[in-house]
Amino acid sequence: MSDRPDADADAVKTYLLDLQDRICAALRETDGGAGFREDAWERPGGGGGRTRIMQDGAVFERGGINFSHVFGERLPPSASANRPELAGRGFQAMGVSLVVHPQNPYVPTSHLNVRFFIAERPDAEPVWWFGGGFDLTPYYGFEEDVRHWHRAAREACLPFGEDVYPRCKEWCDRYFYLKHREEPRGVGGLFFDDLSEGGFDHSFTFMRSVAEAYLPAYLPIVNRRWAKQYGDEERAFQKYRRGRYVEFNLVYDRGTLFGLQSGGRTESILMSLPPEVSWRYDYRPEPGSPEAELYERFLKPRDWLADEATVA
């Protein structure tokens, strides 16, 4: 992390608002049926945001894309957990967070978050950092889709060094892991936090590279799978696996915890939850079934691009 006060928060905010606009436009075009409802909101403690929700579209059952820019007198515990020396500082935090839950069980759920923090106090220079990433949560596994997703993730990282993708990929595998289930949430992607190495311009450029990779990573998968036929059995499995998504977001997710601890807008914080979900007691998929294959082949962290040459 850096103590240099060279951060340009206005530039970050301008970029994030534009990012939200462009992603909403792309998802609206892909869905072809539903638009977004927008709620602009203000936070009593300072700041606010705009939440955009798509419901019951032709392709997406729910898509939530939130921009927030909030201020406070004390960093919440979730934001200072890795840097306890910053506890008690005032802060401003801004970011774009989205989760897309598809109608078709053969289309994965996807998540993107990019964020920027500044921790401040009157007698010290501001401390700033970036964080974020994206990950994919399939219900039925297709190696072609997962390879494409990780290829896009690697390409986003390559301009910053060949070691960056493996490091952020492994961080993602560790972060999106349900300890009480002893299983990953999905097939991973990228995750990074506390980034200020190389200065503001370098860190901001990396955050933008990750954000810009999301649509090229996700939309080809959506277009490949959204029309695939499915039945009640596939839909029931999708709802069951969505339960894991809920468990992770409510138990472990630092973004959810930060939003709740900082007094954010509850509806916007919990927009990431799927609209329909179920839990089954001691469910075990039929051996040899596509559902079992998800556990056996896809919910196991691995190097999805091990046999592909890296070209900078």
Give catalytic residue positions. 111
* 202 annotated to a ligand binding site: no
Joined together, the tokens standing for residue 37 give: 């409802």
* 100 annotated to a ligand binding site: no
Query: What's the Cα-to-Cα distance from 200 to each of 2, 92, 120, 125, 130, rounded to whole Å?
Result: 9, 16, 16, 15, 9
* 150 annotated to a ligand binding site: yes
* 101 annotated to a ligand binding site: yes
Q: Residue 138's beta-bridge partner residues?
A: none
Q: How far apart are CA 152 and CA 212, in angstroms?
A: 10
* 97 annotated to a ligand binding site: yes
* 263 annotated to a ligand binding site: yes
* 70 annotated to a ligand binding site: no
Using alpha carbons, select from 161, 139, 136, 132 the residue that is nearest to residue 148.
Answer: 136
Inter-residue contact 148 to 136 (CB < 8 Å): no
Using alpha carbons, select from 145, 294, 135, 151 the residue that is nearest to residue 228.
Answer: 145
* 90 annotated to a ligand binding site: no
* 113 annotated to a ligand binding site: yes
Joined together, the tokens standing for residue 26 give: 């792309």
Residues placed in the known binding site: 97, 101, 111, 113-115, 150, 180, 263-265
Residues placed in the known binding site for substrate: 97, 113-115, 263-265
Residues placed in the known binding site for a divalent metal cation: 101, 111, 150, 180
